[in-house]
Structure 1
Amino acid sequence: MDKRVLITAGGSGIGRAMAEAFHKAGARVWVADVDAGALASCPPTWERTPLDVCDEAAVEALFARICASWGGLDTLCANAGIAGPTAPIETIEVAAWRHCLAVNLEGAFLFAKHATPHMKTQRSGAIILTSSTAGIYGYPNRAPYSASKWAINGLMKTLAMELGPYGIRGNSICPGAVEGPRMEAVMAREAAAKGTTRDAIYAGYAGGTSMRSFVSAEDIAAMAVFLASDAARLVSGQIIAVDGHTENPDPKA
């Protein structure tokens, strides 16, 4: 795969798995992450930039660097996101709501905004947004996160329609429950809120899928590589769940 790929939150978790998968496929990889320590652990063959996805000046400067170094960009994986608060809506602080939407939605918007002129010039590109099954179903006690992920899918649909005439594709990947530290933190908060155990919450999530399983970061990364590839040249405007088929978005624990 001879692609130039930028991945936000690429230092760990799903973003790191994406970077590894693209690198293995032969792509040139550039990762941006707010966590300088995570970036430091990335292979030296990857380009790395510490960056807050909500800082538009920094985002614009990053694209200037990328285009000066690479001459353009083929794939943007706007993957950065936070879980936000897990709580009943009446207890959620406005500041927490705004922060969740700023990182999850505004960050994706800023990267798409500044990737678009370069992709339009070359009349090709793929923009892949990391959404969530929370962007397909409503999730109790996850109002900011769910709202941001529904909005991500709306943004993607608009990008696909607006940019398709320039040869630019847009798609969303909706992970289900992904094994890893972030989901462990979510389950711990849910267990505390419901007065139950982490294992009961885990069983509820896994039991709510037809595959009876969580997914891995590598599963998400494999879909991203496919969507960026020439094999997906006419796949655009799609909300693609990688979740083992979620049947019940409200696990009873």
Structure 2
Amino acid sequence: MDLGITGLRVLVTAGANGIGRGIVEAFLAEGAKVYTCDVDAAGLATLPAEVGHQVTDVADRAQVATLVESAVAHLGGLDVLVNNAGIAGPTGKVEDINPEDWDRCLQVCLTSQFNLARLAVPHLRASGNASIVNLSSAAGHLGFALRSPYAAAKWGVIGFTKSLSIELGEAGIRVNAILPGLVAGDRQRRVLEAKAQQRGLPFAEVEKAAFSYVSIKDYVTPQQLADQILFICSPRGRTISGQAIAVDGDTRMLA
């Protein structure tokens, strides 16, 4: 299927590894022009040569300002912002969570999306096919015991997304949230390992419990997430906005 996104100018945050890298490579394969950032300089260095990139902490507003300026200059404008950056945050009971860990989780997972959107929107207004895609999580509408900072941040992402979609609709800018569930990769493994350690259970038992709440008994791949994002950012997805789209195999709860 030709999605009609050749030449689309795309900024993806946290694109050096995992989900972000899958998104970067998927847009690139469809002929889009891509710029990305990450805190992992070594990972950025392994990206295809045509991908513009820089080291950026998306929780730092000064660094984000430099990022957006550099991306727009490199791409010659902006059509798509994919707010992918996020961290797992602390695992533990709420009374045991370090407040600084709470703050950092919300800064990276939620406030960074505001940091990017406020600077990207003036450029998106000049696009004929503008989209913002915010990465939320299944935890953003179901909750996640022992990971309250992450769940709170991802819940906030959905509210931010729906509010922006209303605000920017008249400008023709679509805004959607993608809600991954159990995503294949090192990050998901670390999350389950932390939960297993917190509860004193074997990893296999925690993994099995997670899959017991999923209709499709398998991990979601970064490519599957990227495919969904490409579609909603293409002209074929022009009427899709304000949606929190689950790509999680129907995760009912992760407690």
**Structure-1-length-normalised TM-score:** 0.96
Quote the residue 1:218 is aligned against: 223
Which of residues 208, 223, 233 in structure 2 aligns to 1:203? 208
Quote the residue 2:79 is aligned against: 74
Distance 2:222 2:71 in 1: 26
Q: Deviations over 1:112-153 (max 9, x none)?
A: 111001112346410000000000101100100000000001
Give ranges in structure 2 of 5+ residues lacking alignment: none
Which of residues 4, 8, 20 in structure 1 aligns to 2:13? 8
Q: Deviation of residue 70 (structure 1)?
A: 2.6
Q: Deviations over 1:162-207 (max 9, x none)?
A: 1111010000000001111111111111111111111111111112
Judge conservation of contact 2:161–2:176 (CA < 8 Å) in 1.
yes
Judge conservation of contact 1:176–1:242 (CA < 8 Å) in 2.
yes
RMSD of the TM alignment (CA)?
A: 1.1
Letter in 2 for 1:154: G
Q: SS of the residue aligned with 2:144? A: coil
**Is 1:168 matched up with 2:168?**
no
Distance 1:204 1:155 in 2: 31
Distance 1:132 1:86 in 2: 16
**Is 1:192 matched up with 2:192?**
no
Q: SS of the residue aligned with 1:132? A: coil
Alignment of 1:130-169 (within 5 A): 130-169=135-174
Distance 1:200 1:150 in 2: 27
Quote the residue 2:186 is aligned against: 181
Q: Deviation of residue 51 (structure 1)?
A: 0.6
The size of the alignment, in residue pairs, is 250
Quote the residue 2:250 is aligned against: 245
Judge conservation of contact 2:52–2:71 (CA < 8 Å) in 1.
no
Q: SS of the residue aligned with 2:121? A: helix
Letter in 2 for 1:184: R
Distance 2:152 2:21 in 1: 25
Distance 1:14 1:162 in 2: 28
Q: SS of the residue aligned with 1:32? A: strand
Letter in 2 for 1:235: I
| Percent identical | 40
Q: SS of the residue aligned with 1:136? A: helix
Distance 1:147 1:123 in 2: 34
Distance 1:88 1:138 in 2: 14
**Is 1:56 matched up with 2:61?**
yes
Cα pair distance change 1:21/1:44, threshold 3 Å = same
Letter in 1 for 2:149: P
Which of residues 38, 42, 47 in structure 2 aligns to 1:37? 42
